Amino acid sequence: MKTKKYAFKAEVSEMLDLVVHSLYSKKEIFLRELISNASDAIERAQYLGLTDKTIIADSPAWEINIVADKASRKLQISDNGIGMTAEEAESNLGMIARSGTQAFLDSLKSGGGTSAPDMIGQFGVGFYAAFMVASTVTVDTLRRGADQTAVRWQSDGKDGYTIGASDRATPGTTITLDIMPEHEHLIEEWQIKSLVKRYSDFIAYPIRLAVDGKEIDPDSEPLNTMRALWRRDKSGIKPEEYAEFYKHLTHDFSDPLRTIHYAAEGQLEFRALLFLPQKPTFDLFMPDRKHGLQLYVRNVFIGSDFEELLPPYLRFVKGVVDSSDLPLNVSREMLQDDVIISKIRKNLVGRILSELEALKRDDLKAYTDFFRGFGRVLKEGLHFDYENGDKLKELMLFASDRTADDGLISLRQYRNAMPSTQQEIYYLKAETLANARGNPHVEAFRKRELDVLFFVDPIDEWIIDALGEYDGCKFRAIDQGEIELGTEEEKSQAKEKLKDDEQQFRPLLDFIHARLTDDIKEVRLSNRLTDSASCLVADEAAMNPSMRRMMQAMGQEVPKTRRVLELNPSHPLLKRLLERFETERDSEEFAKQAELLYDLALVAEGSQPRDPHAFTLTLASRLAE
């Protein structure tokens, strides 16, 4: 065969320049692309060999070999796949964006083929990534089958290419790169091993390496494991294999809490191997922390931390997704089809939430331990994932007045324990569980054996609106607005008693209100207190105290709001003040002691008294009496 020179067309030269200088963000990607092409060539040979026995008459042991010679700065990637004829070399390598794989798949479709092998080189540009690091690229190839002639294709990626005879004697393809001096570090032995491990570890054929003039040892250990665990039948995988892969993937020392391994089939096909960790990592709440799953396309690593595959509130989930249908852009570094990504994402979210529900149902203790570590993250979904809101509500756990120590209960458990007369789900926001348990507002509910949920996570401030209602019951804050408890008869009796007490205490109430008019909008008697002397009640739509403190801690300016000061007419302190009112009302000391009721209410809810120093002095003098 006589060697002929061909010129790149002008538009092809421009496209080649784009591929070399702009398409890929990492030079190292070239090795992934060439190994992927080699894998495709083997897949194609196997497939065509099913109907044409001359193609695999030699029953080859399929393999991909890499030979690196740093002294000459040459790198070779060889396969014993399908190979190419001269016409195919000119068509596939001489025209950018004309992929042999794509043409092959198109021919299968037009011929009615329905079981094409998995191949990834469908954009016709991956091969040209070699020119990012090589001054010259030489392809020696021999098509499998009878009466074929070896071909050599060569180009410097600038003026054009030549096609002529090659001395290759065995079927397959060898690509030889003359590596540029500035990229010679990429053919270091450790670098090649690292890149193969990162990008091509799960290629189904052994990848072997020889360096510095040595020959490939067919009995040596391959660089790749070839064990894509997610593509194996899960019935044949042992738990320790899952644990080993999880630790390899995450560098976690513990076994995973739960493994999710499944294959989606039908119009959209992909495989997923996901893990729920036992404990959160230290960086779970770091704002700049990347999260997401590792993405593979037909066993070839595309990238890690693909956040598009999972919403942020599931960022604790680790694992891989491998798709046969996923369309990528030509660089394979950005996802291209939002519709398919959305479908995969929806499928993954559904499976993860179902797995969490199964864990909660089958082993509540294990789920509770899991929720202590990851519940704060999972709660974010209530605010952002309206579609799965009902499923997420079933996964929520909260402390309550009835739970021992720091125990947690689900909304379903709370709802099932509600008496038939209770129509709302009562809750209280607080900064700590201790503050919640000691809050005066809980007293009346505790007396009537009505449970109250405690929202003590900082994020609880943001999810209450998203909770809305559960199983037909709205959520009701016990420290906002007026609340009437008990039967209709009990409510009527409580109103009558308050009316009688009101006449007796009115002068004192007016006096306290006059002294605190800048801080409160009303002073009234309360039927929600049993042990405490006072509490503060906000309007139903007002910002609660813990949210106010949080905003202030963040440096946010919070508008001042005046709340209602409610007093317990049965408390000894209030009775004593009433006894002294007529004789001491003009005393400044008495006035300070009366104002103490407001500061006591502030302290009880976890807030600072207006003037801590004055508060302690007044309290000390009162105790000294």
Q: Mind listing the pLDDT tens digit for each residue in 314-329?
A: 999 999 999 877 655 4
Q: What is the pLDDT of residue 333?
A: 53
DSSP 129: G
Residue pair 333/24 in contact by the 8 Å Cβ criterion: yes
- Residues 175 and 204 grouped into a single domain: yes
Distances in whole angstroms, Cα of residue 588 to Cα of each of 308, 321, 523, 567, 612: 65, 73, 20, 21, 18
Position 553 in a domain = yes
- Residues 327 and 453 grouped into a single domain: no
Position 357 in a domain = yes
CA atoms within 13 A on the CB side of 99: 21
Report phi then psi at 52, rounded to 5.
-125, 100
CB-based burial of residue 468 (10 Å sphere; 0-12 exposed, 13-18 middle, 19+ buried)?
A: exposed
- Residues 21 and 149 grouped into a single domain: yes
Position 222 in a domain = no
Position 45 in a domain = yes
The ranges of the chain with pLDDT < 70 are 9-15, 19, 22-23, 95-125, 287-291, 326-338, 541-559, 622-625
d(CA 88, CA 117): 20
Report phi then psi at 606, rounded to 5.
100, 5
Position 609 in a domain = yes
Residue pair 182/117 in contact by the 8 Å Cβ criterion: no
Task: Show the domain range for 357.
Answer: 229-364
- Residues 356 and 246 grouped into a single domain: yes
- Residues 200 and 233 grouped into a single domain: no
Position 485 in a domain = no
Greatest Cα pair distance in the chain: 123
Can you give the CATH number for the domain in which 129 is found?
Answer: 3.30.565.10
CB-based burial of residue 308 (10 Å sphere; 0-12 exposed, 13-18 middle, 19+ buried)?
A: middle
- Residues 555 and 448 grouped into a single domain: no
d(CA 34, CA 65): 11
Distances in whole angstroms, Cα of residue 473 to Cα of each of 395, 421, 476, 540, 564: 17, 12, 9, 17, 26
Position 388 in a domain = no
- Residues 89 and 203 grouped into a single domain: yes
pTM assigned to the model: 0.76
Position 421 in a domain = yes
Q: What is the pLDDT of residue 178?
A: 97
Q: What is the pLDDT of residue 316?
A: 93
- Residues 298 and 181 grouped into a single domain: no
- Residues 205 and 268 grouped into a single domain: no
Q: What is the pLDDT of residue 330?
A: 43
Split into its structural domains, the chain has a count of 4
Out of 185, 211, 237, pick the residue that ends a domain: 211
Out of 477, 510, 527, pick the residue that ends a domain: 477
Can you give the CATH number for the domain in which 243 is found?
Answer: 3.30.230.80
d(CA 347, CA 309): 10
Distances in whole angstroms, Cα of residue 126 to Cα of each of 78, 120, 178, 294, 610: 16, 10, 17, 21, 69
- Residues 498 and 560 grouped into a single domain: yes
Out of 449, 477, 505, pick the residue that ends a domain: 477
